[in-house]
Every structure is written in C-alpha cells, then in structure tokens.
Chains A and B, each alone.
Chain A
Amino acid sequence: MDVLYFAWVRERIGIPREKVESSAKTVAELVEELRGREERYEVAFSDLSALRVAVDQELTDFDASLEGAREVAFFPPMTGG
C-alpha cells in the first residue's frame, strides 16, 4: 500500500510517500511496524494523540482495519480555513 505523510510528519520522516509491504491488519499495527524501522519513524509516531490518520482518503482512527486499503496517510491535526 502507499503510505503518505504530511506537514511535520513528512518533515520528520523525510519523505512525502512510500510503498510499504505490510501484513498489518489495523492502522495501529502498521504504526508499530513503522516505529520499529528507524529512529525517524519512532520520533514521528512517538505521540499518537498528536496525529490523525486517513485510510483511502477518509479520516478514521488508529483502530481502523486496513483490509483492502490502498492508501494510508498520517498527519497532524488539520488547520484549514
């Protein structure tokens, strides 16, 4: 699946998007996998309360299933308007 990062999450991880091969069943499991990779991921995902997640461009939560998901995005709370 494609994993996308926006705003300071993108800056901390250092890339805007990447392909991730994962057997994670939920967003939370995917986060655990990413955190285990390298320190920059650990830093970006250290406080989940400061993050929001969208699966296939719909805002959801960390318990959400990744079944059939093509795109997962992580970002800070939005500041539109």
Chain B
Amino acid sequence: MIIRVQSEPFDLGAETEGFADAQQGMGAVVTFTGIVRDLPGEGLDRMEIEHYPGMTEKALEKIAAQAMDRWDLGDVLIIHRYGNLKADDRIMMVATSSRHRLHAFEAAEFLMDYLKSRAPFWKKEFTQSGAEWVEAKDADEAALDRW
C-alpha cells in the first residue's frame, strides 16, 4: 500500500504508469482522480484543503487495508493533497490493481466512498463574495451503507 499526503501537485500519468509497472500478474489497474470543480456563476478563486496530520495518514492506511482484506488486490495507491488549490487542479487519486477487473473497480469505489467521509480533510471554497466550508452531504454518509 502506498499512501501519500502532500501539498504539492502530483503527475497523474507518471503515478499511474509507475503503479502499473510495479504490478506482477495483475490483469487490471483502475484509477480514479478527483478534480477541483469550478463554481457555476461566481467562479471559484481557490479551494483550501485542511487536514489532520497524523490522523490523516492513519485513516487512509486503515481504509486501504480494509480494501486489501476485502478484495483480491495486488496493491492500492492513495495520493491526497492539502493546501491551496484552484479549479481544475487535481486533488487526489486512487489506484487499485487486481487479477480481474471487478475487484479493482469495486475496491476503487469503496476507497472513494470511505475517503469522502472517513478521512480527516475539510474543504473551504473562496469566491469573490467570501468563503464557505464545503458541507458533507447525507448521500456521502449513506454511500457507506452499501459496503
């Protein structure tokens, strides 16, 4: 399992390639990338992501370990940024590998569902008219029920 929490950008192509190259005997690699959405209308000046150093790494390791236990995976990669980001910047990525694609797809979805509401990150959106913390959605919590 590779877990990285960082402020600097990551190279999606190089990370995906590196992850895929490191796999042996795996028939599938699935990746998901989260991108900062612009706000319709007023436009997003920037997004600030705060996190809880120490707990963040532990929470991500726990989520990745749960995925490794539950599905037949070769490996899991999670990269998540914090700090100041702009619209269209990449916030985070996950990659999973498995012998058959179903495991890699399902595990990637599981990782994303848990990352949303169990990893200690908080997003604040800054616009011309001020700043607002992004509120968690009930749907994010409900998404955990299917696992």
A-side residues, CB < 8 A to B, are 4, 6-8, 54, 57-59, 73, 75-81
By secondary structure, the B interface counts as mixed
Report the stretch among B10-18, B95-103, B118-126 that lies at the interface: B118-126
Q: B residues touching A (Cβ–Cβ < 8 Å)?
A: 34, 50, 52, 54-55, 58-59, 80, 91-92, 112, 115-124, 133-136, 140-141
Which A residues lie within 8 Å of B133 (CB)? 7-8, 76, 79
The 7 closest A-B pairs by CB, nearest first: A77-B136, A80-B121, A57-B55, A7-B122, A80-B119, A81-B116, A81-B115
Please give the distance in Å from A21's CB to the nearest CB on chain B.
22
A54 / chain B contacts, CB cutoff of 8 Å: 52, 55, 120
Q: Does the CB pair A79–B122 fall under 8 Å?
A: yes
CA distance A23 to B34 in the complex (A): 43
Closest chain-B Cβ to A5's Cβ sits at a distance in Å of: 10
Please give, as numbers and ranges, the residues of chain B lying within 8 Å of A7 by CB-CB distance.
50, 122, 124, 133
Interchain nearest-CB distance for A18 vs B (Å): 16
| Minimal beta-carbon separation of A79 from chain B (angstroms) | 5
Other 11 A-B pairs with CB < 8 A, given A4-B52, A77-B135, A80-B80: A7-B50, A7-B133, A75-B52, A75-B120, A77-B136, A78-B136, A79-B116, A79-B117, A79-B121, A79-B134, A81-B121
For residue A10, which residue of chain B has the nearest CB? B50
A11 to chain B, nearest CB (A): 9
Instruction: Tell me the bound Cα distance from A77 to B120 in angstroms.
Output: 8
CB distance from A53 to the nearest CB of B (A): 11
Is there contact, CB below 8 Å, between B120 and A78? yes
